[in-house]
Chain A
Amino acid sequence: MKSRKPKLAVWKFASCDGCQLTILDCEDEFLKLASEIEIAYFPEATKKVVKGPYDLSLVEGSITTPHDAKRIQEVRNASKYLVTIGACATSGGIQALRNFQNVAQFASIVYARPDYIQTLEKSTPISANVKVDFELQGCPISKHQILEVISAFLNHRKPQIPAHSVCMECKAKGVVCVMVAKGIPCLGPITHAGCGALCPAYNRGCYGCYGPKETPNIPSLMRWWEGELGVKRQDSVRVLRTFNSAAKPFEEASTQMEKEGA
């Protein structure tokens, strides 16, 4: 039945390569993957380049330059399924912090010749540029989840990537809630599951690396932080502006809080 192996491509845009490294980090599973699919384009792993079209494209990174804005269209055109991997590709990444500032001003401070710099005013997620078939959140993505997504797409099923809170995995693991038991501010209740509650399991609050969960109620959590845990408004804003600052719910909440002031 399997006439040819499906072709997989992995693309890089503005990003740190961490999500691609997660794929390489799959090791044993990666070898199995290589026997089931043709790794047609993955410069981080192999120099070999097989021409498109591709059955599944994994896209890392956000769109920050005019050149990339054009390139992502080409990737989309060459791909049957396009899945974004990681915070950059899904929400604009840490580089989307520029979205809240004046980029020209930054460039003038950082570069000797800012006129050489061709950059867009905003770092945007892939979905703001082309149609996306699935978004895998996480900074970086989880090894277990990327394998699940690849398996799901190759078998034409829905990936088992629950969009609920980190709390659900935290509690299922039996981890004691750091916020309730220790008063440590934690973003777990508004953050998308997938990391296996890594930080709370090591006695730290969640930093929201996996971005917003489905229907997050950010104002309520922030009211509790401020009222009960004594977190300052400006610190709450900063916590929401890390890896997923431009994810819609985070962006809206932090902007609103900034407007309301201290």
Chain B
Amino acid sequence: MSKKILPLVLGAAMGVAATTAASATTLEDVKAKGFIQCGVSQGLPGFSNPDAQGNWTGLDVDLCRAMAAAVFGDASAVKFTPLSAKERFTALQSGEVDVLSRNTTWTMSRDTKLGLNFAGVNYYDGQGFMVRKDLGVTSALELSGASVCTNTGTTTELNVADYFRANNMPYEIVAFEKADEVVAAYDAGRCDVYTTDASGLYAQRLKLTNPGDHMVLSEIISKEPLGPVVRQGDDEWFNVAKWTLNAMINAEELGVSSANVDDMKSSDNPSIKRMLGVEGAYGEGIGLSNDWAYNVIKNVGNYEESFNANVGPDTPLGISRGVNALWSDGGFLYAPPVR
């Protein structure tokens, strides 16, 4: 009781209500307020990017929409909070956002030391380099003596230091606070190299004056599994996030898409029946209705649809599935079955 008073006094004094979450579980909270608060990036095309009207799109955004669909059956019951790299974990820890879906790399220290849980991987990424084509560079090992632009406060800054040191190449690092500034400085010619997650390079390349003058080198110098993050110690909500992602991947594997999901309800395949809630009561296990996965697929689509719509070969980013293909197609995506 006494702990609640201070913010209320502050809030009352300023004529503004402080949002006080009841100390229930996140799922109950979310159900009570009627929407999911989702932490996203401040603008990374293909992953989480607002258009001129403020509508968010992207792979990470789709995951939040899918969670909203799973909980409410309504993919629009979600609000987005753009977060900088610096703020993102604090925002999640303090409860400002319910889930962080912001191209965040799953590392051991983040998983174990920050009181957070990674609910899976929705994009397998790795750090790459982008250079001007006219430099004539074909391999990252030729970058000795280069100046490198990157973001501060991310794992990329450490990876690039490790990489250049391990290969005994001198370099000069220019580390900016915001991605937009990195792009501007690289575009102005301050740096020879721009390094960040490869997906980010493809996305940021669109913002350059002449995207065609730049190329992404083939070397990938780190493992960057990106995924949604929730608070530790709330297993129910953790399960919702985990299984929403799994449902999207499973749906692709089973050939269920938003176009055919209604027909698939009458499918003979027991796996599909279980997933769509026709057989069994798997929704109960995560505190949701039985058609939770149906809602996800109906409203948002399966992983393939989301991938192709946001980052796939037909989008400006033009990223091929690569390691992000299903395990059955030689990729890494492998979701546990619903049963």
Do A and B pair up? The answer is no
| Residues of B bordering A, CB below 8 Å | none
